[in-house]
Each structure stands twice: as C-alpha cells, then as structure tokens.
C-alpha cells in the first residue's frame, strides 16, 4: 500500500486576551516546506500583547499546526497643549506645567508653548506651577478651547492666584486633543508724578502752630549742635528704608527638579559673577534670574561646595541649569 504524502496544514487564530473570543481565523496556503516565519495579522482596533512573530516547520506528515496570537483593544491617545503668556501677549518661558493622573512634567519654551503627546484618553488635570518669572500677579485667566482649530471657541475662567492653578479636562475618542492657555496679568507698580502733586507747591512754608511756645530753650540739648550738620526730619528716613529694602531684594531663585524653590539669592552683577549653590541637595538645579540681561555678557561661575564651574546664560533665556551629579 502506497502512503500518500500530504502537506501540513497551518492555521492562524487571533484571540482576545481578556475574553478568549476568536477575532480571526485563517489558513495559510502559501508556506513552503521547511521553516517559515508567521507574523501576527493586523486587526483594526487591536494590538498584539505578546510576540508578533513565530517560526513553523512545514513537512509532508499531514498534521495540523495552529499558531495563536493574543490581542487586546488598542489604547487610544490624545494631545494636550497650550501657551503661557502675559496680559500683553508676550510669551513666558520656563514655566513648569504638570499633567496628571500619571504625573508628567514639562516647561514652556521661548514661545511660551508646552505640549504633552500620547496622553491616554480619560480625565486629566493640567497644573500650572507658580510662574516664578512674575512674582507678583494680579490674576490668571485660564482659556479652554472647545475647538482647537477655532481660537474664538475659547472659554475664559479667572482663577484665584495661588501656588498653582489647576484645570480639569477629559479626552475621549471624539475629542482627543485639548488646548489650555494661561494668561498672566502682573501687578504693575503705581508711578508717582515726577514733579509731585501740582496742587501743593513743594517750597510752600509751613504754618507755625498757634499754641507753639516761643521759647524752646528748655527742650534743647545742653551741647551746641554743629552748624555743618543739617537737621533731617525722622520722616525722611522712611523712603530710604523702603529703598534699601528694594535694593536688597532677592534677584535670583533656585529650583530643584520638582519645581520647588530651594533658595532665594541676592547676586550682584560683576565682570566675574559667582553664584554659590553649595549644600543644595538636588539632581538638577535651575537658576532663574529676575533681570537676565544684566548677567548675559558676564563671566558666570557656579560654586558648588569645593568646585567652581563656568556656566553660560543663553540668549533669550532667563535661566540656566546646573546638575551637581554630573560635575
């Protein structure tokens, strides 16, 4: 009796990983004798959870070979983006923006832009950390756009100024892109008239009180005051104290990798300026200048414990980054 040779039969089955439901079943007829690569077929809306490639050996024994691939529903992703500007439309660079529920952090670029890609669908929270580039803030407007392609679809919401500003959003299959803008209005100091109030002449003599005693010899100190020393009213010292406090105001802030302020410094701009960061514990230290242009063309040095490192404040930026662990 002659034995009839029959090629092996190879069948591919695609199975839902959660329900074990068969998504697709197909017999492969174009395989040659010997080893063949079998790849997982593409199924719309699903992705392979395990290996997507396997080897099968085809012979003439007539056996049935089943290759099974497991799938799960493909996760959909969206995008969250926006800008941070001031009330005059100028971009604010270096502002920390967080996205939750899975924490993700980014910083605005020189155009004030931030962006989060591959965001899972669902509910999220966009968090704007206290914009340290503007210490005193009057208010912040949060603009959420119904249609990212239509700037007129934005809805403004004024929030109370605090350490952070939060905005809840939701991404779904139909609306998987969300734009959130932040408009920061700084507090502008009141300008006093240069010539003073017009209704009160500055050189107008003060009227002498009627009940003032004519003889003040008993109130005078025994020693004779020098004629060369001017008599300065105590009230005039108040503006000087205020000015002194202003001059001593901290002009540099240092942040760690979590966006927390770890130090406030008063750094004087000199031809060779040293910024002392000794003892600050962080993987990354971000040094933000209140007036960066004063430090732009200087020779900047960062002192960290026993070392000094030359750094550079790049054009268009108000901050520099120093990593103690890399030094």
Nearest one of 6, 186, 209, 175 to 86, comparing CA atoms: 186
Instruction: Please tell me the distance from the alpha carbon of residue 126 to that of residue 145, in angstroms, as a whole number.
Output: 14
How far is 38 from 28, CA to CA, in rounded Å? 9
C-alpha distance across the termini of the chain, in Å = 83
Helix ranges (H only) for 114-250 are 237-247
Q: What is the largest CA-CA distance in the chain?
A: 150
pLDDT digits (tens, 9 = 90+) for 229-256: 444 444 434 443 333 343 346 888 888 8
Q: How many Å apart are CA 302 and CA 227, to the nearest integer?
A: 51
> The pTM is what?
0.46
- What pLDDT is stored for residue 327 in this prediction? 47
Beta strand extents in 30-95 (DSSP E only): 34-39, 46-48, 53-58, 64-73, 77-86
User: What's the pLDDT score for residue 232?
Assistant: 40
Q: What is the pLDDT of residues 14-42, one digit of tens each?
A: 999 999 999 999 999 889 999 999 999 99
The reported pLDDT for the residue numbered 307 is 87
Query: For residues 178 and 146, is the Cβ–Cβ distance under 8 A?
Result: no
pLDDT less than 50: residues of the chain: 217, 220-248, 327
Q: Is residue 94 a contact partner of residue 133, using CB atoms and an 8 Å limit?
A: yes
Answer yes or no: are the C-beta atoms of 123 and 101 closer than 8 Å: yes
> What per-residue confidence (pLDDT) applies to 224?
47
Q: Give the closest residue to 109 by CA, choosing from 130, 129, 83.
A: 83
- Do residues 300 and 269 touch, judged by C-beta distance below 8 A? no
CA 161, distance to chain mean position in Å, is 17
């Amino acid at each position: 009796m002659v034995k009839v040779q029959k090629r092996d039969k190879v069948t591919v089955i695609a199975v839902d990983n959660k329900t074990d439901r068969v998504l697709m079943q197909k017999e492969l007829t174009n395989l040659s004798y010997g080893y063949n690569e079998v790849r997982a077929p593409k199924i719309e809306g699903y992705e392979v959870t395990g290996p997507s490639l396997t080897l099968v050996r085809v012979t003439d024994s007539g056996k049935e070979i089943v290759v099974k691939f497991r799938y799960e529903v493909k996760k959909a992703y969206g995008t969250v983006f926006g800008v941070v500007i001031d009330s005059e439309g100028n971009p604010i660079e270096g502002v920390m923006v967080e996205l939750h529920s899975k924490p993700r952090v980014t910083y605005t670029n020189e155009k004030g832009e931030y962006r989060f890609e591959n965001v899972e669908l669902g509910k999220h929270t966009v968090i704007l950390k206290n914009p340290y580039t503007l210490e005193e803030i009057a208010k912040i407007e949060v603009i959420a756009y119904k249609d990212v392609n239509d700037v007129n679809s934005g809805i403004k919401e004024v929030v109370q100024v605090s350490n952070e500003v939060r905005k809840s959003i939701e991404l779904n299959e139909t609306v998987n892109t969300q734009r959130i803008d932040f408009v920061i209005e700084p507090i502008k100091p009141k300008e006093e008239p240069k010539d003073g109030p017009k209704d009160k002449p500055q050189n107008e003599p003060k009227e002498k009180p009627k009940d003032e005693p004519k003889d003040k010899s008993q109130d005078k100190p025994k020693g004779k005051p020098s004629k060369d020393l001017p008599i300065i009213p105590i009230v005039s010292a108040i503006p000087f104290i205020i000015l002194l406090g202003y001059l001593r105001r901290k002009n540099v802030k240092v942040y760690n990798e979590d966006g927390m302020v770890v130090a406030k410094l008063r750094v004087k701009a000199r031809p060779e300026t040293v910024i002392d960061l000794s003892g600050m514990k962080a993987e990354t230290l971000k040094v933000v200048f209140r007036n960066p242009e004063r430090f732009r063309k200087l020779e900047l040095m960062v002192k960290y414990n026993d070392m000094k490192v030359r750094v550079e404040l790049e054009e268009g930026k108000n901050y520099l980054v120093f990593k103690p662990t890399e030094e």
